[in-house]
Amino acid sequence: MNEAPSAPAPVILGIDDLRPLPTATRIARTSREGVQLLHEHRDTRIDELWLDHDLGGDDDILPVVTLLEEAAFGGRPFDIGTVLVHSANPVGAATVVQALARWNYRVRRATA
């Protein structure tokens, strides 16, 4: 009996300084790690990307948002199913959602 090939496991990335994000396959804890994580997955379908706005101290998600915006501006946006913004900072979260929606990323607020 031939078995159908199994579907690849979903790629779920998270960038958050504190939350465990149990469904994530990889987690970055700083914006720098987040940028590196996205570079590592540049040519991979990312099923979900979870973003927190405030990443501790003076760090925030904006370098990651800039990377995503620049990729879209250059005509080669990241292949992301859904960007989920989960932040206790409502103004920061709204900024991220607005910025990414402008570049046609599928993005929404969520709870983690």
- Six-digit token pair at 45? 């379908």
Which position has the higher pLDDT, 7 or 75? 75
Cα(64)–Cα(73) distance, integer angstroms: 14
Q: Indicate yes or no: pTM above 0.85.
A: yes
| Residue 90 parent element (H or E) | helix 90-102
Q: What is the pLDDT of residues 16-45, one digit of tens each?
A: 999 999 999 999 999 999 999 999 999 999
